[in-house]
Structure 1
């Protein structure tokens, strides 16, 4: 495992050492990226550097040198569509705690334990809270979780089952973030909020390594990613840069397609209006709770990756999301999360309007198991007539 060379601000490029826990850049409050000395790996056969484990820690050669706190997260299936020969679904519901959040929180908790931290706090739209609760329990640490009161019931149950201290808030994830920010110094919490510490991105970047390895070290033409906070998309873009530096992949990077819900679309608006950052989305509402992030902290990084890749940002309504859940359940045997269904619905639209061709090789991320959303999907079902539901 490589030693961390330094931390680099993703905005102003200020550097810091990694000898102690860091949050945001002290110069501009940008997100820190972890940088390594990867010179010894350049030009090597990537397969020769893979550790013999079926988890994200197979990429230990490009992850921090620390003893992992792991529940065997990562190395999730790449499922080829039964209907579309050039479409794969990256099934992140196979992770511990049932979502891709396991990757980022495994790395964040690993480094928190490495630094000797004892109490961690996070605002969450649901799934990150459950993941932090699980990994904190595995590490023997305290987890303090703040979530909107209408998150899926599974998220609430798992936080309590793992022994976390959970607080439900009448508001959005942005309101939860304010509480953590106001109380963390007084309570002695370390804030592991999205992009406010460097290591959740490192866990999420393993999705980029995985999809390239599972496609035999080649890029797809496009990647669809449900985007609330957007750390997965940001992490994959970092992974692509690292793999190219190492010579582990060649060719054109995939178009990055960020998918939002129409009831909370700050990134779609910013992209459409040609802006470099988003504005707070007012009165956010969608049953896809993971997409209910009214202003992503890493908005500038999401927009940069989308534009550099020739991708786009697209929104889907809750009705379109529900219909894609039905479609994939009946025709593919897969129960999508609402967030994943936003991405599959977006794929249909971009094929229809010609942005993509059916011949393009595409990977869609289902960021969580639909089984974590049974109460949400039941609400969607009740909102449709029997005739619509059976059609």
Structure 2
């Protein structure tokens, strides 16, 4: 496993050491990236002799040198659609706690334990809170989770079961973040909010390594990713750059498609208007709770990645999301999460408008199992049939 060379700001390139736990860049408040000396891991010989473990820790040559806090997250299946073999679904619902958030929290709590952090706090739209509670429990760290009061019931049950201190907030994830920010100093919490510490990105970048390895070390033509905070999309792009530096993959990087909900589309709006960052999205509302992020902290990175890749940002209504859940359930035997269905619906739209062709090889991320959303799906069904 490589030693961390330094932390580098994604915005101004300011560098700091990783000897102590850090949050954001002290110069511009940008998100830190973890940088390594990867020189000894270059070449396909290293790539072809990765540790044979069915978890994200098979990519230990590109992860921090620390004892993992793991619940066997990662190495999730990638499955071809029954209707179009060029459409591949990456099933992140197979992770511990049922979503991709397990990857980020595994790496985050690994480093929190490595640094000796005793208490963490996180604002969450739901699934990150459940994953934080689980991995904090595995690490022996005290967790404080703040979530909107209307998050899926499964997320609330998780926090209780894992022994986290849970607070339900009458508001959005942005309101939860304000509470964490106002209390963390007094309470002694380390803030593990999305992109306000550098290691959740490192866990989620393993999705990029994984999908490329599962495709025979080749890039797909496009990647569809449900985008609330956008850490998964940001992490995968970082993975692609690292793999190219290592000589593990070559060719044209995929178009990155950021998928939002029409009721909360700050990044879509910024992309449409040609802006470099989003504005706070007013009156955010969508039953896809993971997409209900009115102002992503890493919006500037998401927009850069989408534009550099030749991709796009696209939003779907809740009715379109629910229709795609039904479509994939009936025709594929897969129960999508609402967030994952925003991505499958986006694929259909981009085929219709000619942005992509049916012959293009695409990977669509179902970021969580639909089984965590049974209460939400009941509400969506009633709303769908009422229209």
> Is residue 2:219 matched to residue 1:184?
no
CA contact (8 A) 1:45 1:248 kept: no
Contact 1:49–1:61 (Cα < 8 Å) also in 2? no
Deviations 1:153-184 (A, max 9, x none): 00000100000000000000000000000000
* 2:219 match: 219
The answer to whether the 8 Å contact 1:7/1:33 transfers is: yes
* Cα offset, 1:30, TM superposition: 0.3
Distance 1:375 1:168 in 2: 17
Instruction: Give the corresponding residue for 2:2.
Output: 2
Q: What SS is found at the alignment partner of 1:383? A: helix
Q: Give the Cα separation in 1 of the matches to 2:384 and 2:173.
A: 28
Question: Which residue is 1:142 aligned to?
Answer: 142
* TM-aligned CA deviation for residue 262 of structure 1: 0.1
CA contact (8 A) 2:322 2:384 kept: no
Instruction: Report the 3-state secondary structure (helix = DSSP H, G, I; strand = E; otherwise coil) of the residue aligned with 1:79.
Output: strand
Residues of 1 paired with 2:370 and 2:59: CA distance? 28
TM-score normalised per structure 2? 0.99
Q: CA deviation digits over 1:339-382, x for unaligned, max 9?
A: 00000000000000000000000000000000000000011112
What is residue 380 of structure 1 aligned with on the other side?
A: 380
Deviation at 1:50, TM superposition (A): 1.2
Q: Does 1:155 align with 2:155?
A: yes
The answer for the alignment partner of 2:71 in structure 1 is 71
Contact 2:209 2:239 (8 Å CA) reproduced: yes
Whether 2:374 is the aligned partner of 1:360: answer: no
Question: Which residue of structure 1 aligns with residue 120 of structure 2?
Answer: 120
Give the aligned CA root-mean-square deviation in angstroms: 0.9
Query: SS of 1:384's equivalent?
Result: helix
Distance 2:46 2:243 in 1: 9
User: Counterparts of 1:1-391 in structure 2 under 5 Å?
Assistant: 1-385=1-385
Is the 1:8–1:16 Cα contact (8 Å) retained in structure 2?
yes
Question: How far apart, CA to CA, are the structure 2 residues paired with 1:249 and 1:44?
Answer: 9
Deviation of 1:45 (Å):
2.7
CA distance in 2, matches of 1:76, 1:250: 23
Distance 1:308 1:229 in 2: 19
1:46 to partner: Cα distance: 4.7
User: For residues 107 and 229 of structure 1, what CA distance do their matches in structure 2 show?
Assistant: 17
Contact 2:122 2:146 in 1 (8 A): yes
Unaligned runs of 5+ in 2: none
Instruction: Report the CA distance between 1:51 and its aligned residue.
Output: 1.0
Contact 2:70 2:106 in 1 (8 A): yes
Q: Deviations over 1:73-125 (max 9, x none)?
A: 00000011000120000000000000000000000000000000010100000
Structure 1: distance between partners of 2:89 and 2:327: 14
Provide the secondary structure at the position in 2 that maps to 1:385: helix
- Kindly report structure 1 stretches of 4+ aligned residues shifted beyond 4 Å: none
**3-state SS of paired residue (2:326):** helix
Task: Report if aligned partners of 2:319, 2:384 keep a CA contact under 8 Å in 1.
Answer: no
Mapped partners of 2:203, 2:285: distance in 1: 28
Per-residue Cα deviation, 1:179-234 (whole angstroms, up to 9, x for no partner): 00000010000000000000000000000000000000000000000000000000
Instruction: Extract unaligned runs of 5+ from structure 1.
Output: none
CA distance in 1, matches of 2:381, 2:27: 49
Q: What is the TM-score when the length of structure 1 is the normalising length?
A: 0.98
Residues 228 and 291, structure 1, Cα contact 8 Å, conserved in 2: yes
Q: Is the 8 A contact 1:229 1:293 kept in 2?
A: yes
2-structure distance, mates of 1:46, 1:292 = 40
Distance 2:381 2:144 in 1: 33
Alpha-carbon offset, residue 52 of structure 1: 1.6
Number of residue pairs aligned between Structure 1 and Structure 2:
387
- Structure 1 residue 2: Cα displacement: 0.4
